[in-house]
Amino acid sequence: MTFEEAEVRAKQLKEAIEKHNYSYYILALPTISDFEYDLLLKELIDLEALYPQLQTSDSPTQRVGSDIDNEFTQVRHKYPMMSLSNTYSESDLTEFDLRIHKLISDIPIEYVCELKFDGTAIGLTYKNGVLVQAVTRGDGEKGDDVTVNVRTIKSIPLKLHSSDYPSEFEVRGEIFMPHASFQRLNKERIEAGDTPFANPRNAAAGTLKLLNSSEVAKRGLDCFIYHMLGDNLPFQSHYENLQKAKEWGLKVSDHARKCSTLEEVFGFIHYWDEERKNLPYDTDGVVLKVNSYTLQKQLGFTAKSPRWATAYKFKPEQAVTQLISVDFQVGRTGAITPVANLEPVALAGTTVKRASLHNADQIELLDIRLNDWVVVEKGGEIIPKIVGIDKSRREEGSEPFHYITNCPVCGTLLVKDEGEAKHYCPNDTGCTPQIIGRIEHFISRRAMNIDGLGAETADTLYNKGLIKDIADLYELKKERLEVLDRMGSKSAENIVAGIEQSKNVPFQRVLFAIGIRFVGETTAKKLAEALKSLDAIRHATREELLEVDEIGDKIADSIIAFFLKPKNIELLDRLKKAGLQFSLNEDEFKPLSDKLAGLGIVISGNFVKHSREELKQLIEKHGGKNLSAVSSTTSYLLAGDKMGTSKLQKAEKLGVKIISEDDFLNLMA
């Protein structure tokens, strides 16, 4: 086939595939079989492989994803991505309506009621009808560019239909995971020995942040559009623009309704509070918006949310059943979690047999006793929670529940630190669930991401005596793995290769992987960027740790306690000897200048020219250090609008120089 012939055929295939995508994912009216669809897609993939210049960003082949890992970059939103205020009762909505009419008098208000989808927010930018960028909410000012992943979602058009759309505009929507996709994904994770996702919302958010877009493509995400932004929009009203977006091929819910009165709004809420149980995806409320853009502009915004919209949240579903017994689980950090075993009861479309009891304080607060009739609530989690007791049905002579005093696995006396809700088993080196939990955490995707090694295999390795801790992983040989049941030569080879490859995982993820209590992903990254190496973190004073952004007393004390244990030091020495990354790649964080060298700066307030995160990056790039609290070692307090009063007072008391955003920028000029 010549290039000219291939070009014509590729165009035909693209148009046909997108037409079938629209029929299947938007109209829910498939026109061909899955087999026929796959044949068309395969033909296009083959053509683009033969002539790479035929592959464009809006090609349906981009929905397959890539095996190339892509780190996400931060992008500033053109329009701030604000959150909505929440209401929980009809009286709250009545007050919302009264506020609207007080600000806008003598004009009829038309509301649009929409279902509030339980997923993760996304901003999609189209230029000349082609999807060019997809950005997560982030902090509202900036988010992650996840365009590569979003292109794999088949309900999001890569190229719009028709031609009457603006040359550039943005739509906001909710990416979610339908129940069928969620159940399939969790079934696969359980079979692979991985921890199942807690709910579809978490699964959708986690999937969107995967670095491998080919994995995203397999998970069956979906998306509803609920907002449009830009110049030269077709209409000056929200509902009409949504209907136009539907004509362009964007997926808009058919359940949105225009309402002229509060009675109509309440009717919409009452209907969907029951009917939502029959939807193939999760909703957690109703969003109420003023329809007119002119009135929206007149009403304006608060610091956090629009005045012309609010979200009414449905009450979580509840059921009453009997408490049979209580089990106690031990986590990787030694935290003890009580779990109630219940008489099976139907709740929110599933049969509930277990529920979380959280901790001893919660049990005492509710006065939970064995054989009590308890109120169980399911707020989207896999394990529901007990929120109340029907004491009128309590058995005579029942006794208060006695919380365990010793670890249910190793028998060690439990401890409870001041200010902590949970009890802990302090035997972190001899308690089996803690050891296995730390190994599973270490090998997990967000930590060392060791290819070929799942939680189930790690458990087997421990139980068979092949490993006793995370450092033992780096001494495993293919020959020792091959003797395990269901472990072939190729699988053993892949595990050894995955372990070897993990030696290249960057320091911040290694720091997260070693499992210091309270040091999560974000904290590990902050520590790594601030102190640069594990040795520096190990020898840092408590005051030096507290100066690191987002490090408080609890985290600082936990870090110090971790490095005081000789067994932990021995373990880290073995990991370092194995070749893991114990310091930052300096090239990645090479400073732009040393103009702020030796200066410690605290940021407080809101700024005009830069976001707080950008200012923090500038401080680091020019050799300075970001401090979270004002102390005698602080060089400057960088003060913006609405800064914290306590920081200002402390700076004045200690004689710390207070500078403006312009003063700060002049320091680097």
Which position has the higher pLDDT, 461 or 644?
461
Which position has the higher pLDDT, 645 or 295?
295
Give pLDDT tens digits for 344-382. 998 866 788 999 898 999 899 999 999 999 999 876 555
Two tokens, residue 340: 């109630």
Q: Which residues lie below 8 Å from residue 91, measured CB to CB, with a gap of 6+?
A: none
- Report how far residue 104's alpha carbon sits from residue 110's, in angstroms, rounded to the nearest whole number: 12
- The pLDDT, as a whole number, for residue 382 is 59
| β-pair partners for 603 | 638
Among 135-144, 387-396, 431-440, the minimum mean pLDDT is found in: 135-144
Q: What is the CATH number of domain 432-504?
A: 1.10.150.20
Position 82 confidence tier, pLDDT thresholds 50, 70, 90? confident
Which position has the higher pLDDT, 452 or 109?
109
Give pLDDT tens digits for 220-245. 999 999 999 999 999 999 999 999 99
CATH topology (fold) of 3-55: Helix Hairpins (1.10.287)
Segments making up each domain of the chain, as ranges:
3-55, 86-93+104-266+277-309, 432-504, 507-588, 591-667
What percentage of the chain reaches a pLDDT higher than 90?
A: 56
The sign of the dihedral angle between the CA atoms of 165, 171, 177, 178 is: negative
- The pLDDT, as a whole number, for residue 26 is 67
**CATH class belonging to 86-93+104-266+277-309:** alpha beta
- To which residue do tokens 């932990």 refer? 568
The most confident of 89-103, 578-592, 642-656, by mean pLDDT:
89-103
- To which residue do tokens 């053509």 refer? 47
pLDDT at 503 over 70: yes
The most confident of 162-176, 513-527, 543-557, by mean pLDDT:
162-176
Kindly indicate whether the domain formed by 591-667 is annotated with CATH number 3.40.640.10: no
Kindly indicate whether the domain formed by 507-588 is annotated with CATH number 1.10.150.20: yes
- The pLDDT, as a whole number, for residue 611 is 77
Give the count of beta carbons closer than 10 Å to the beta carbon of residue 469. 17
The answer to whether residues 144 and 3 touch, using CB atoms and an 8 Å cutoff, is no
Of 116, 159, 526, 616, catalytic: 116
Residue 339 CA to its chain's centroid (Å): 25
Two tokens, residue 587: 């090239």
The answer to whether residues 131 and 151 touch, using CB atoms and an 8 Å cutoff, is yes
- The pLDDT, as a whole number, for residue 631 is 86
- Report how far residue 174's alpha carbon sits from residue 194's, in angstroms, rounded to the nearest whole number: 26
Residue 246 bears catalytic tag: no
* Mean pLDDT, residues 572-601 taken together: 86
Smallest Cα–Cα separation from 667: which of 599, 582, 566? Answer: 599
pLDDT at 41 over 90: no
Helix (H), strand (E), coil (C) string for 578-627: HCCCCECCHHHHCCCCCCCCCCEEEEECECCCCCHHHHHHHHHHCCCEEE
pLDDT at 67 over 60: no
* Mean pLDDT, residues 38-64 taken together: 81
Residue 532 CA to its chain's centroid (Å): 26
* Mean pLDDT, residues 593-618 taken together: 85
Smallest Cα–Cα separation from 176: which of 134, 225, 143? Answer: 225
- The pLDDT, as a whole number, for residue 586 is 65
- Average pLDDT across the chain, whole number: 89
- The pLDDT, as a whole number, for residue 69 is 41
- Report how far residue 416's alpha carbon sits from residue 428's, in angstroms, rounded to the nearest whole number: 15
Give the pairing of strands 74-76 and 168-176.
unpaired
The most confident of 110-114, 301-305, 514-518, by mean pLDDT:
110-114
Give pLDDT tens digits for 258-274. 999 999 999 999 999 98
- The pLDDT, as a whole number, for residue 68 is 44
Position 635 confidence tier, pLDDT thresholds 50, 70, 90? very high
Q: Which residues lie below 8 Å from residue 273, measured CB to CB, with a gap of 6+?
A: 314
pLDDT at 445 over 60: yes
Whether 591-667 and 3-55 are alike in CATH topology: the answer is: no
Among 1-15, 411-425, 555-569, the minimum mean pLDDT is found in: 1-15
Q: What single-letter DSSP state applies at residue 394?
A: P
- The pLDDT, as a whole number, for residue 381 is 54
pLDDT at 430 over 60: yes
pLDDT at 2 over 90: no
